[in-house]
Chain A
Amino acid sequence: MHTSRRLILALVWLGLLALLGLYVARSLRVSTDLRSFMPPPSTPDQQLLMDQIGNGPGSRLLLLAIAGADVDTAAGLSQDLSDALKHDKQFTEVINGRFDLDSLDPKLLPYRYLLSPTLDRHRLDAAYLHDQLQQRLADLGSPAGAMLETWLPRDPTLEMLKLAQRWTPANAPDTRDGVWFDKRGEALLLVQTRAPGFDPGAQKQAIDAIQAAFKALPDHAKAHLVMSGPGYFSVKINARTRAEADWFGRISTIGFILLLLWAYRSPRAVLLGALPVASGALAGLALLMVCFGQVHGITLAFGFTLLGVAQEYPIRLLSHRRAGADALAGVRALWPLLLTAIASACIAYLAFYASGVPGLQQLAVFTIAGLLVAGFSTRYLLPHVLPQRFRDVADSRPLARWRQRFDALPRPKIIPVLVGAAVIGALWLAPGPFWQNNLAALTPLPHKLMATDARLRQALGAPDVRYLLLLHADSAEGVLQLSERITPTIDALQKRGAVQAVELPSRYLPSARTQRARQARLPDADTLKHALAQADAGMPFRAGLFQPFLADVATARQLPPLTPARLAGSPLAQRLTAMLVREGRGWVGLATVSGVHDVAALQALAKDTGGKVRLLDLKASSESLIAAYRVRILKALAVATLLLVLTITIALRSLRRAWHVLAPMTLATFAVLAVERAVGIEISLFHLVALILAAGLGLHYALFFERQTGDAAEQRRTLHATLVCVASALLVFGMLAFSSIPVLRAIGLTVSLGVAFHFCLSILMAPHVERTDA
């Protein structure tokens, strides 16, 4: 082909890529919600778990401390920050300990007689009112008098105060200057975000908004803001992982390019050799946009890693070019093998699609599309644009020596047996559990962050993120009644120290039944007026002072019971929506639990209530969910393995040859597992993904080493191509193995080990070269 035609074709290809790139850049929407990498929930309980992981009250909570300032300044900052955040739609709740009766909706005030437990024990009769008025008189004469004066005419029995106390968080911190403080003199705030806790993108916005609001305060320079909470952690981890991955990515890309330049001595070839993978990546992204509308950040990161396999196709093409023959002839000879490799890799990634996990399905679509496009463009486009002049790698003397050395290696038939035995032994004796079910272990928090979280959580009495008490009933009303029924039991457990605090929904809203019972005990207007006159006799209260009280009681007698729907829009409703959730056909109440000391005692509640009240251990449930989902992936992988064996056997048309390809690949995969287990690494999903990636690479090595061309020069080219592939894989993943982030380390270590084992075993287990040219 003429040089000019090559140039035109290359330009057309680049143009197409540019167009595709433009489309992707325009439509690319990256999501960060980690739940798309969680298994799809199949039971209502799992659904609840998933909702709670992202949306539960605990996971949306951010703990703030204003540190480093004196009490006056910190209190002022706390107040100003809380005022600023209360106007921000991103936050559903901001509390800093300020006691603020005036912030309650005045329309709801008469409801205090239905919400407060006073009427359960007393009636508003002359005796009770007399006692209360005497108390109020003493209150007026006490140092607390000024505090009560404004409320006295309307609320002589102090129901608002009782409700405010009831609604204050159970283990609230001390207040100084009207706001919460811890023992170190830091002002404390609790902020609940509207965004789910495990959506780092949305959480980052919320956290940035808090920081911006703090920076905007005039006194901010005198103090600094300390933050904690699940959302803050996910943002931190995300940023750290990304920064490290970017850094490793940049270094290894440079190394990779240098390696290719050294291997092929032609910048043009290296540049053009990048086109198939670039085409694959862009095509994969475009397909994701068409199919899913968005792509998860993790899919992108893993997808590009997995697509790295495709770089082998152009490498094989470049290494296998023969002096005198054109690239097209070379690729035709290689194609059956390449096609087998592409098909096998696609089969392996289909297993991810079968997992049913949205994030992994995206990953499968991206990788399979990418591999196909990269493979076919290597076959049908790349040969037409490669320069005609090149250096045949088979002429390299050092390479020839290496090839001879490799060929001279002893290949005892016992190797598979020995390696197999070692693998079984290592797996058998390996310490610790085999599987890592705790996803959090792969994204561990720096010790300092953990310590800050524990300290703030303790100081704020914030609920554990781990446990939730579930109350099941047919209706919201049923949940509230159930909540009232177990209140005495919970109180007893608290008194015994089994648990520090449980926030039951009925604490904020009694059931309609209870409200009606209290309503029925409210006296009518005349009776109350009469009782008040009797109670008031001889006291110095001004005549007619309690008119607002009489009016409120009269209103309360006519009110329909307060329901979550009627509360809508009030601060109380925010708290209740988090506690009352529709679940399938029924309703479930979610009570947050703090300071669990006796899990068994709480679990016993389930038995006593016939399963209507249960303790949900979010950690145990998510672990079992992950275990179940791994089983599903493993099953899909088993099917994929069968398909793979079938494909290879058919492609090679020989069981014996298939054995030479599959045996080293399988052994090497298990050898990696054995080594990782022997040094105490627990296997996670990330390790599994990495093992599959390594197996894909190993399959290439084995396929090409097994190939019998009867031509020593071609054998040298095979070695060259394989060495370039091994070196580049070790370069990229070897670097990741030194990452400080466990997820990256897991992938890096597994793939590097895998590449090394696959390479050694495919050489050692390849059939002896039958004929050699002198």
Chain B
Amino acid sequence: MACTLALMPAWALARAPDPAPAGLSPQASALIAGLKQAPPTQTPFAEAKYSAMLDRALVVSGTLSWQGGDHLSRDVSAPYKEHTVIADGKVAMTRQGHGTRHFSLDRAPPLKALLDSLVAVLSGNPQRLQKGFSARLDGDAAHSWTLTLRPDSARLAKGLSHIRLDGHGDTLDCMEIAQSGGTVTIDLLGPLAAKMPKQPNRAQLTGLCRRAH
């Protein structure tokens, strides 16, 4: 009997419903839990894209909204108008004067990964964040922090190199998505969006994200 009792705690721990994610420290999990927002919520964004095909960055800006669950929308207001809705695994993209294009989220694995990590952050869910990713947190919750996510599966890694989230306290400031081909997309979120330069270079943007607070 004593033996059984002695084993109990270990057994209970192993079956605990919410074990601390293996890759994230309890502080990191707490930090992510703290980022939780109540849907619907929205934030302005400005995005710069660097691609080997382009001589200079491609910049667009608008509003990102989260309606809860896996339902996100992205409204571009400049330099053209474009409305993208991601819901139920499907993407509908409407560009002014060019109709709507529909495609399955599965056809764009990097986008799916981004959606997964963004929704995980918005709903303050560290478990989901780690599903399919190795996560690492640098910095601390009180000051600025950087969360880096790298895909576990070779299949996803073919398209996606990493996702990096920068923030301070309980605010998410920047998102960086690096594709395996070398294309990098950097989003400035919230008040930071207004600070997007006309011709941003990457060092400038990294600086903005790291010194946001």
Contacts and interface: CB of A to CB of B under 8 A. Distances in A.
Contacts of B107: 99, 147, 175, 178
Contacts of B54: 140, 540-542
Contacts of A103: none
A8 to B, nearest CB: 79
Interface string A119-144: 00000000000000001011011111
Interface string A643-667: 0000000000000000000000000
Interface string A136-158: 01101111111101101100000
Nearest to B185: A145
B110 interface: yes
A142 B84 contact: yes
B53 to A, nearest CB: 6
Contact of B82 (A140, A142, A147, A149): A142
B108 interface: yes
B159 interface: yes
A140 B57 CA distance: 11
B53 A176 contact: no
Contacts of A422: none
Contacts of B49: 140-141, 145
B93 A176 contact: no
Given A99-B107, A138-B80, A177-B106, A143 B55 contact: no
B25 interface: no
Q: Interface centre among B49, B80, B84, B106, by most A CB within 10 Å?
A: B106
Contacts of B104: 174-176, 178
A150 B180 CA distance: 12
B95 interface: yes
A178 to B, nearest CB: 4
Interface size class for chain B?
35 or more
Interface string B44-88: 000101011111111010000000000000101000101010100
Nearest to B181: A149
Contacts of A153: 53
A545 interface: yes
Given A135-B98, A140-B51, A143-B74, A149 B183 contact: yes
Contacts of B89: 176
Contacts of B47: 141
Contacts, number: 82
Q: Interface centre among A135, A145, A146, by most B CB within 10 Å?
A: A146
Given A138-B80, A176-B89, A176-B104, A146 B110 contact: yes
A178 B103 CA distance: 11
Given A176-B104, A178-B106, A143 B86 contact: yes
Contact of B55 (A135, A145, A541): A541
B174 interface: no
A343 B93 CA distance: 81
Given A176-B106, A178-B104, A140 B111 contact: no
Contact of A146 (B60, B76, B101, B179): B179
Given A142-B82, A147-B103, A178-B104, A542 B53 contact: yes
Nearest to B182: A149
A143 B60 CA distance: 12
A176 B108 CA distance: 12
Contacts of A540: 54-58
A376 B49 CA distance: 95
B77 to A, nearest CB: 13
A137 B109 CA distance: 20
Contacts of B108: 143-144, 146-147
A308 B179 CA distance: 77
B84 A545 contact: no
B129 interface: no
A152 B95 CA distance: 19
B91 interface: yes
Nearest to B179: A146
A144 B112 CA distance: 11
Contacts of A142: 76, 82, 84, 93, 95
Given A137-B58, A177-B106, A143 B93 contact: yes
A143 B106 contact: no
Contacts of B84: 142-143
B106 A541 contact: no
A174 to B, nearest CB: 8
Interface string A756-774: 0000000000000000000
Contacts of A178: 104, 106-107
Interface string A41-54: 00000000000000
B95 A138 contact: yes
A143 B111 contact: yes
A540 B183 CA distance: 14
A767 B106 CA distance: 87
A527 B12 CA distance: 75
A141 B58 contact: yes
A144 B93 contact: yes
Contacts of A147: 103, 107-108
B89 to A, nearest CB: 6
A540 B52 CA distance: 11
A529 B179 CA distance: 31
A143 B52 CA distance: 17
Interface in B132-191: 159, 179, 181, 183
A146 B91 contact: no
A137 B111 CA distance: 18
Given A144-B108, A146-B110, A152 B103 contact: no
Contacts of B106: 175-178
Nearest to B58: A141
Contacts of A177: 106
30 contacts: A138-B80, A140-B54, A140-B58, A141-B60, A141-B76, A142-B76, A142-B82, A143-B74, A143-B86, A143-B93, A143-B114, A144-B103, A145-B49, A145-B183, A146-B108, A146-B110, A146-B111, A146-B159, A174-B104, A175-B104, A175-B106, A176-B104, A176-B106, A540-B55, A540-B57, A540-B58, A541-B53, A542-B52, A542-B55, A543-B55
Given A143-B86, A143-B91, 13 more contacts: A138-B82, A141-B47, A141-B60, A142-B82, A142-B95, A145-B183, A146-B109, A146-B111, A147-B103, A174-B104, A178-B104, A540-B58, A541-B54
The 8 closest A-B pairs by CB, nearest first: A178-B106, A540-B54, A175-B104, A143-B111, A146-B110, A540-B56, A141-B60, A141-B58
